[in-house]
Amino acid sequence: MRVLVIEDDQETATFLRRALKESGHVAEYAGDGQTGLELARANAYDVLIVDRMLPKRDGLAVIGTLRAEEIRTPALILSALGEVDDRVKGLRAGGDDYLTKPYAFSELLARIEALARRTSPEEGSTRFVVGDLVLDRLTHKVTRAGEAIMLQPREFRLLEYLMKHAGQVVTRTMLLENVWDYHFDPQTNVIDVHISRLRSKIDKNFGNPLLHTVRGAGYSIRDSAH
Amino acid sequence: MTALTKLFRTTTFRLSLTYLALFSAAAILAIAYIYWNTTVLLSRQLNQTIDAELKGLAEQYRAGGLEQLVRIVAERSQTPGNSLYLVANSEGHRLAGNLSAVAPDLWNSLGPVEFYYRRPAAAGVERRLAFANVFRLPSGYRLIVGRDIEDRRELASMVRSAMLWGLGVMALFGIGGGYWVSRKLLARIDTLAATTRTIMAGDLAGRLPVTGSGDELDRLSDSLNLMLARIEQLMAGLREVSDNIAHDLKTPLNRLRNRVEAALREPYGEPVYREALERTIEEADGLIKTFNALLSIARIEAGAGGQNRELLDVSALLCDVAELYEPVAEERGLMLKAEANGPVFVRADRQLLGQAIANLIDNAIKYGTAEGADGTGAKPEVEVTATEKGGVAEIVVTDRGPGVPVSDRERVLDRFVRLEASRSEPGSGLGLSLVAAVARLHGGSLRLEDNAPGLRVVLALPSGSGATMNGVTAREQARAETRSA
């Protein structure tokens, strides 16, 4: 994945580039809004990571300009402003996701990987398959090894989101935001309990577990047997 | 600015001057009116008397000729009084009467006229004012009948000067009084200003002086003193919050630092380092959470988050959040029951209200488990309901835990306040503060009540059922939805 980091803080930028490289991505860097805009115009990136407050041209303006020029590269906004109002403003300006500083790198990584996947053809498919687990988005039916699994509506949406991002790490916050549409901290680890319920339905009676916990990051659904 | 110009600029002084001017104008008008009316009346009376007398004398002349007229005039001139007479030939030669020399121009005029004449007095001759009517007899003789009006003129001039003096004295008193009153008032205002400045300089305990007279300045001072008390209270609150922040953020920071230091002290090797770093990240995450919660509360209290308000059904939101927490409750051996009694609409920020409800349910689950079980073996219940009554939407969360003692019910809404009994549970002590802040932002309130046993938390918000949604009231829309369902 080719990522452009537009961030004015040198140390943060260096850390991000190194960490992205270690995760197997190619990271390029721009220290101000103007350079960032020019780079994003000239090259085809999979994802942009844009700091909100930048010298010369602020982050939202960079994204706004790109969108006006029909450049639709997914963009993740990084900001110290974390209130709902700021989030809404960021997404309205053309950002695809919003992450508040300070953040865990695992959260950032999971989010940009999810963003890059957005543009892939799987996004619109009506059937998700992971190993012998099949989810049909039209009939709302889930089967494992041909056996029907009964899920509550919310469990279905949870599994749907996980399977849409099969093979990727999905964080608790991403689940809370995308499955429940809550943008606050629920204090208790409510998501973990939902996951363990879901796990008991799709994994318990089958030999090969598909829903994995990724330590310090979140969850991932994948067929590790292959 | 000199003291005098400062004084002249005061409202009191200007008001006094304006009042004085208006009052003087009214007084002058009234007196002038009376004076003028009296003069006119007296002149008219005099005129009539003289006319009547002239007519009578003319009769005598017609009846008895010049001799009779001269005789009668001479006779009347002997009578002492104010009456003036003169009969003279065309050359101005006096035939009879008590008027001696008369100016020739008077001689030639006809009708009523005012003039000065000379009259012998104790000390020589005095000049007096007279009013007379000149009548021309057929033979060229003149008959003048008049009255001495010198006394009247003197009286009039006395009245005029008295009036001027009166006005002068009044103006003097007015300006002096205005000056005095303004000085008094200015002195009090200066005291107030000086006190205010010392308070601004940092003496928050200072208060404005109140004389006890209950006048408008006292009332103003009272209000300002109340305001100062409120500011002092807020500042104390702020100080408390910063003390709390210092304590509740520094303690974990210190813990974090100690742990890293301990790990670095000896060459323990990778597994120990790794564990220390992981614990450090955990600790940092906890700090970030606390920090975020504090910032949220501060922003909500400053009135932020009001822009995303929408008309929403609290019942639905309540069930939604309850669904999120239901597995956690079950894991803890609790029954989480969300009861929807039809839609209850409020105008609110969905995320903020959602978080408030989440905090309440989270608390109920954390603290509702304890020894509150009633011994019947049934699972302790956490119940959440939304009802609407008289324009107030009430979100009620009840549990069967130990509850909160009456004396602590106010206190637990403050930041970082955690009761001893709850220390074992993880938490920042900010949950209820945030709920209270959200309630205030939406014009509502948060109360804690006894659920006997357990705690009953009521989040009351003004209901939005009267508000319109695309021109249709929420209630109507809800009805339409029920019908179609």
Q: What is the pLDDT of residue B80?
A: 79
Q: How confident is the model at residue B484 (pLDDT cuts 50, 70, 90)?
A: very low
Tell whether B29 and B129 lie within a shared domain.
yes
B285 and B324 together in one domain: no
Buried b (16+ CB within 10 A) or exposed e, A137-161: eeeeebebeeeebebeebbbbbbbb
B89-124 burial, b at 16+ Cβ within 10 Å, e below that, comes to: eeeeeebbbbbeebeeebbeeeeeeebebeeeeeee
Q: CA of A26, closest CA in chain B: separation in Å?
A: 26
Q: Are residues B258 and B371 in the same domain?
A: no
Estimate the crossing angle of helix A190-202 against helix B314-331, to 10 degrees. Answer: 70
Contact B327 A182 (CB under 8 A): no
Q: How many CA atoms lie within 13 Å of A117's alpha carbon, on the beta-carbon side?
A: 20
Give the CATH number for residue B249: 1.10.287.130
Q: Say yes or no for a CB contact (<8 Å) between B305 and A85.
A: yes
Which of B254, B279, B301 marks a domain boundary?
Answer: B301
Specify the pLDDT at position A157. Answer: 92
- Identify whether residues B344 and B289 lie together within a single domain: no
What stretch of H or E contains B117? strand B111-121
The beta-carbon contacts of A113-121 under 8 Å, at least 24 apart in sequence, are A113/A1, A113/A165, A113/A168, A113/A169, A114/A165, A114/A168, A114/A170, A114/A174, A115/A47, A115/A74, A115/A75, A115/A76, A116/A1, A116/A46, A116/A47, A116/A74, A117/A164, A117/A165, A117/A168, A118/A74, A119/A46, A119/A72, A119/A74
Q: Which residue of A has its CA nearest to B354?
A: A182
Report the residue from A88, A180, A194 with minimal CB separation from B327: A194
Predicted-complex ipTM score: 0.81
Residues B258, B127 share a domain: no
**Do B249 and B316 fall within a single domain?**
no
**Residue where the block lists tokens 């006119």:** B40
Q: What is the pLDDT of residue A48?
A: 92
Reply yes or no on whether the pLDDT at B68 is more than 80: yes
- Please state the domain count of chain B: 3
B163's tokens:
């009036």
Among left, alpha and beta (phi > 0; psi -120 to 50; other), residue A98 is beta
pLDDT at residue B473 in the model: 46
Using a CB-CB distance cutoff of 8 angstroms, which residues of chain A are in contact with residue B307? 85
Which residue has 């509850």 as its token pair?
B403
- Chain A: residue whose CA lies nearest to B297: A83
Longest dimension (CA), chain B: 161
Hey, is the C-beta of B151 within 8 angstroms of any chain A C-beta? no
Which one of A82, A85, A189 has the shortest CB-CB distance to B292? A82
- A and B: number of Cβ contacts within 8 A: 66
Q: How far apart are CA A36 and CA A28, in angstroms?
A: 10
- Residue A44 contacts B, CB cutoff 8 Å: no
Which residues, other chains included, contact B88 with Cβ-Cβ below 8 Å and sequence gap of 6+? Answer: B94, B95, B97, B102, B107, B141, B142, B144
pLDDT given for residue B467 in this prediction: 46
**B45 shares its domain with B106:** yes
Same domain assignment for residues B264 and B341: no
Q: Does B279 map to a domain?
A: yes
Q: Which amino acid is at B64?
A: G
CATH number for the domain including B328?
A: 3.30.565.10
- What's the average model confidence in pLDDT over B54-77? 85
User: What was the pLDDT predicted at B470?
Assistant: 40
Could you read off the pLDDT of B365-406 as tens digits, one per residue?
888 765 544 555 566 788 888 888 888 888 888 888 777 777
d(CA B255, CA B251) in angstroms, rounded, equals: 6
B70 with B96: CB under 8 angstroms?
Answer: yes
Instruction: Please give the Cα distance from A122 to A117 (Å, whole number).
Output: 8
B183 falls within a domain: no
Length of chain B: 485
Comparison of pLDDT for A225 and B201, the residue scoring more:
B201
List the domains of chain A with CATH numbers: 2-118 (3.40.50.2300), 122-221 (1.10.10.10)
Residue B179 belongs to a domain: no
In a domain, B209, yes or no: no
Of the residues B112, B130, B158, the one at which a domain ends: B158
Confidence of residue B34 (pLDDT cuts 50, 70, 90): confident
- The whole-number average pLDDT for the span A109-114 is 90
Instruction: Give pLDDT, residue A119.
Output: 62
B327 shares a domain with B262? no
Among B412, B306, B405, CA closest to B359: B412
Q: How far apart are CA B455 and CA B468, in angstroms?
A: 35
Residue B451 has pLDDT above 60, yes or no: yes
Q: What is the spatial distance between Cα B432 and Cα B285, in angstroms, rounded to a whole number?
A: 21
Quick one: B321 and B278 in the same domain? no
pLDDT in tens, B221-278: 888 888 888 888 788 877 877 777 777 788 888 888 888 888 888 787 888 888 888 8
What 8-state DSSP symbol labels residue B122?
A: T
CATH number, domain with residue B135: 3.30.450
pLDDT band for position B471 (50/70/90)?
very low
To probe the interface with B, which of A152, A187, A189, A197 has the most B CB atoms within 10 Å?
Answer: A187
- Residue at B237 is within a domain: yes
Highest mean pLDDT among B122-126, B417-421, B475-479: B122-126
Coil, strand or helix: which one is B130? Answer: strand
Contact A185 B281 (CB under 8 A): no
Smallest CA-to-CA distance from A111 within A45, A170, A59, A164 is with A170
Instruction: Give yes or no for residue B125 having a pLDDT over 90.
Output: no
Which pLDDT score is estimated for A75?
A: 92
Chain B residues near residue A102 by CB distance under 8 angstroms: 284, 288
pLDDT at A76: 93
Q: For residue B429, how many other CB atoms are within 10 A of its CB?
A: 19
Contacts of B443 (CB under 8 A, 6+ apart): B461, B462
Domain residue limits at B47: 3-158
- Arithmetic mean of pLDDT over chain A: 86
**B349 assigned to some structural domain:** yes
Residues B93 and B241 in one domain: no
Compare CB distances from B304 to A83, A185, A194 and report the shortest one's residue.
A83
**Token representation of residue A193:** 């309990």
Query: Is B185 within the bounds of a domain?
Result: no
State the average pLDDT for chain B.
Answer: 80
B430 and B374, same domain (yes or no): yes
| Last-in-domain residue among B123, B138, B158 | B158
